[in-house]
Amino acid sequence: MNPFWHFARQLLAFRGTLIWAFIFAVIASMSLGAGLIGLSPILRAFLHGDSLVTVAESHNAEHPRFAVPEAIIDRLPTDPFHGVVLVIAGLIVLTVFGATANFLHQYFSRTVSTRTVAKIRSDVFRSVVHMPLSRVIHRGPSQLVARIVRDSVELHGSFVALTSKVVGQTGKGVIAFIAAIIFDPFLTMLAIVIVPIMAVILRKIGKRIRRGNRGALQAQEQLLRISNETLQGLRAVKVNTGEAYADERFTHTNDEVIKQELRVRTARALSSPVMETLSVIVIGALAIFAAHQILSGGLAVDRFLLVLGALAVSGSSFRPLPGLINEIQAASAPAARLMELLDEPREEVQSANLPELPRHKVSLEFRDLSFTYPNAQSPALDGISLNILHGERIAIVGPNGSGKTTLLSLVPRLLSPDAGSVCIDGTDIARINVKSLRQQVGVVTQETVLFRGTVAENISFGLENVTREQIEQAGRRAHADEFIQRMPGGYDGEISEQGYSLSGGQRQRIAIARAILRDPAILILDEATSQIDAESEAHINDALAEFGKGRTCLLIAHRLSTVLNADRIVVMDRGRIVDTGRHDQLLQRCALYARLNQTQLTAPVSTS
């Protein structure tokens, strides 16, 4: 099924509102038809001086099945002028009634479109959030954001076109066409020869628009990625005087967007003129035929004018349809891109088919692990085996790119190994409920992630039924309480996007408070104190030493103090473990560790 129509079926989820929209569209169209038929007595009064009574009696003679009741005829004015006034007054009332119905049709149809797209957007966002982290890394966050936001906007426009404009315009066009048939069937049927030609042309134009629109969306996605990268890294751009390079990069991609968007301009620009030209040709042919019939006495002037007027109204109603159909055709591209995200494999965070993981209390073991990132030339991890006892404090060191962060990302199953297994208390974590695993793991990374919201919301992120006292206690244990209390609003104070209103050390202490609040059995610190000064680090290390009792602690560290406090040090290089031991032991027997001790393991920076 075409992706657009797959999503369009979801409009039926709001069936009641959709039915009301359709009912009011029919009422608005019927009002238009009644108004067109009401023009007949006005024309006859102008052209022949007939009264409403004469018109009604003539109608009854020609159409006995649809005869006007005698009781109504007796109440009609006999004066032609008064009849015209009565009909015009009726048309005004009918117009107001039809306009009200048209408003309600637009109101309900746009409500359905907005609610349906909101549901689709939520479904796609939910699918992205539950995608495996490796897939998110592979696709890139900017691409995913572009699809969730921009593609859903494109889909909303097409739904509005379908439910509001297409239905309304088609209904009015069909009713006006029926009115023309009532006036003169033969003359009207001559006009429909254009319909098959229009259908073929619209089909060809629609295909070209779909192809061009997909390319344009891909280019816009790239433009959004570059914009996000540049603005999020604006500090690095400026200090490296990279403004010109950033501008050149953006301009090049922007030119590609223009190129792709211009590919569909000819098709979009051509559709309406072609339809208008064909319509004029048909009307011209009808006018010539009608002129011959009128001059020969075979056709009344008022009937021709009524047919021509009804066809004109029908044509003007159908006129926007090529553009609306093009808009719907163009929506197939964003719909297909959204479908791709919905079809992505999902990470089953909580599965009823998998057992819960009991609280960790024996060991954490890496068994012959291997992992390679998509499109990477060499594995990030290659044959890693390591057994860690519950409650041990393990420091992991190694040069950049040695696989430290990748290894620890396997513990909460942010990544899954290509081979081997991670076992907690002898149980392979691939065979247990992921949520029960992650509830036991606290993680603090070098790049602290904070969200726009209050301090309390950031500390308690992801947890339910947490009391204010527990939040504040976690803040105190992370030595964050002092600066939090100085903030306007304290724990209710607002943090800006990505936590830029705080210093690096403050951000990390809030992240540590978040980990403490989770009461994890396994604590992962990925260079968590790298942006904290010597005094703060001493407080944090004291807090972590106390908090770490009875928990397994895994630390990636560049600070000598962190390494010295570890029970064991694991040295990694090129995805392998090259040695393990205490600081003094490794200095004597491991050349890589000795070099890291000289170049990478540093004392904390003092703020004095």
Q: What is the mean pLDDT of residues 262-278?
A: 65
Distance CA 391, CA 522 (A): 9
Q: What is the mean pLDDT of residues 517-529?
A: 84
Q: Which amino acid is at 470?
A: Q
Whether the per-residue pLDDT at 28 is higher than 60: the answer is yes
Residue 7 lies in a domain: yes
Position 4 scores a pLDDT of 82
Question: Of the candidates 336, 354, 373, which is a domain's last residue?
Answer: 336
**Other beta carbons less than 10 A from residue 413's beta carbon:** 20
CB 532 within 8 A of CB 540: yes
Residue 383 is assigned to a structural domain of this protein: no
| Residue 539 is assigned to a structural domain of this protein | no
- Tell me, yes or no, whether 97 and 226 share the same domain: yes
Domain shared by 329 and 458, yes or no: no
Give residue 606's pLDDT.
43
Query: In CATH, what number is assigned to the domain containing residue 316?
Result: 1.20.1560.10
Per the model's pLDDT, the better-predicted residue between 55 and 430 turns out to be 430
Q: Which of 390, 388, 386, 387 is nearest to 361 (CA)?
A: 390
Contact criterion met (CB below 8 Å) for 517 and 471: yes
Confidence of residue 311 (pLDDT cuts 50, 70, 90): low
69 SS3 class:
coil
The answer to which of 44-53, 82-91, 503-512 has the lowest mean pLDDT is: 44-53
Strands 522-526 and 494-495: unpaired
Strand order in the sheet with 381-389: 381-389, 363-371, 419-424, 427-428
Is residue 586 one of the residues assigned to a domain? Answer: no
User: What digits encode the pLDDT tens for the residues 92-141?
Assistant: 777 787 788 888 888 898 888 888 988 888 888 888 888 887 777 777 77
What is the total count of domains within the chain?
A: 2
Residue 608: its pLDDT value, please?
36
Both 456 and 320 in one domain: the answer is no
End-to-end CA separation in angstroms for the chain = 68
Q: Which of 463, 485, 519 is a domain's end point?
A: 519
In degrees and rounded to multiples of 5, residue 521 shows phi and psi of: -85, -25
Residue 312 and residue 458 in one domain: no
Residue 81 CB partners (closer than 8 Å, separation 6+): 45
Residue 401, in any domain of the structure: no
200, 275 Cβ separation under 8 angstroms? no
Separation CA 17–CA 105 (nearest Å):
10
Q: What are phi and psi of 384, to 5 degrees?
A: -80, 125
Query: Is 396 a residue whose pLDDT tops 60?
Result: yes
509 touches 582 (CB < 8 A)? no
pLDDT tens by residue, 318-360:
666 666 676 777 778 788 888 888 888 877 655 557 888 999 9
Question: pTM of whole model > 0.85?
Answer: no
- Predicted confidence at residue 363, as pLDDT, reads 94
**One domain for residues 179 and 310:** yes
> Is 119 part of a structural domain of the chain?
yes
Say if 183 falls within a structural domain. Answer: yes
Whether 67 and 213 map to the same domain: the answer is: yes
Q: Which of 273, 301, 336 is the last residue of a domain?
A: 336
Asked if the model's pLDDT at residue 75 lies above 60, the reply is: yes
Which residues have CB under 8 Å from 549's CB, separation 6+?
A: 391
Same domain, 324 and 458: no
Domain that holds residue 75: 3-336
Q: What Rg value do the Cα atoms of the chain yield, rounded? A: 37
User: For 233-300, where are the alpha helices, taking DSSP H only?
Assistant: 234-239, 243-263, 265-295
Query: Residue 365: what pLDDT?
Result: 95
Chain-centroid distance, C-alpha 229: 20
Asked whether residue 314 is domain-assigned, the answer is yes
